[in-house]
Amino acid sequence: MTVMLLIIGLVLGSIYAFKGFQNHMIKKYMGSMGKQAQTVSSSVAQYHVWKDNIEAVGSLRAVRGVDISTEVAGVVTGLYFDSGDQVVEGTLLVKLRADDEIAALASLKADADLATLTYNRDLSQLQQRAIAQSVVDVDKANLEKTKAMIAQQEAIIAKKFIRAPFTGRLGLRAIDLGEYISPGTLIVTLQALDPIYFDFYLPQEGLVKIKLGQRVSVTTDLYPDEIFVGKIWAINSKVDTASRNVQVRAVLDNNEQELLPGMYGNISIDVGTDQKYITLPQTAITYNPYGNIVYVAKPTEPDAAGNMQYIAEQKFVTLGPTRGDQIAVYTGVQAGDLVVTAGQMKLQNGVSLVINNSVLPSNDSNPKPSEY
């Protein structure tokens, strides 16, 4: 029994000693790993001048736009435009059959001629006291009534000749020659494209930063390298109670008529003076619940070959606004500091750094989307 207990104790003691030795070696290895130099990329913190501006997304709307239709029914007997034509105000677009109305107008004009003759004859007889004043009054009323009926008939005929209400560009034709159309039937769309409106929404706190006539710049994904310049034209007189946003309208120059109603775009409004910030790539920031940090590459003594050596130094930062890939830093970093922009997850204070900037994260204040 004694020998058996000694053997068991020896086995258990050996196992315990081995596990202790194993844990010691693991801790030693892990500790040495923390001291190994870590490869990172870096960027120099430097000042950039940013304009204080407001950005929003909105849509384009024609200054004047209408779906041309007819007020009266009829058969199309004449089409005087093609889809996409540029027309001026008053241009005849469509003619409806108006033979009956024109004949009725001729009859009314004949009645008016007769009423004029009767009135003039009775008026001369009245001057000779041959008829009563009441007869002349009836003649005058009949003449005025006939003239009113002529004006009414001319208005009906005018509705048969559909004209452009203003200068602009026509859309796609929706009717054909010989077609019978009812009142309200769409004929074609007409849009005045130069200038053009741009409608967008801003939070209510933005009202104190904008004013009528303020310069704006609009870009679209259709023309990414072109900027359309305009000004604020109108501000809505109320704030939407659901979103607490206010609608704002800008007017843009559209000389080449590249912008069309219904398109969307991005608007930028300059609302303040130039601001000077220390900026970093947004990838340099490590966000934490207890504070945002960056790692600064702090220089140490050169190595035997004369190459500068760096160690990681953790710093808390206060962040400002962002522009594209960049972020402004109020405190924690000075201009000229060498800041780690990639590889922070494996760093801690005092770790040696190997800086490799062969691949750098984007640091553009106005990045453009690209396809590869």
> Over the stretch 242-283, which tens digit does the pLDDT of each residue have?
888 999 999 998 888 888 899 999 998 887 777 888 999 988
Indicate the SS3 state at residue 95: strand
Nearest in space to 195 (alpha carbons), one of 60, 58, 59: 60
pLDDT band at 29 (very low <50, low <70, confident <90, very high): low
Residue 31 has a pLDDT of 60
**Domains of the chain, CATH where assigned:** 37-48+276-355 (2.40.420.20), 54-62+192-274 (2.40.30.170), 64-186 (2.40.50.100)
- Please provide the average confidence, as pLDDT, over all residues in the chain: 86
Nearest in space to 231 (alpha carbons), one of 196, 260, 204: 196
pTM, entire model: 0.61
**Chain segment 210-238, per-residue pLDDT in tens:** 889 889 999 998 888 888 999 999 999 89
Helical axes 99-127 vs 133-158, angle rounded to 10°: 160
- The mean per-residue pLDDT over the stretch 70-93 comes to 90
- The mean per-residue pLDDT over the stretch 142-152 comes to 90
Given a cut of 90, whether residue 366 has pLDDT beyond it is: no
pLDDT band at 30 (very low <50, low <70, confident <90, very high): low
**Chain segment 173-200, per-residue pLDDT in tens:** 988 898 999 998 899 999 988 889 999 9
Residue 372 has a pLDDT of 44
Could you tell me if 335 and 278 are in contact, meaning their C-beta atoms sit under 8 angstroms apart? yes
- If one counts every other C-beta atom within 10 angstroms of the C-beta of residue 39, the result is 11
Residue 1 has a pLDDT of 86
Q: How much of the chain, in percent, has pLDDT values that exceed 90?
A: 22
Residue 200 has a pLDDT of 93
DSSP code, position 166: S
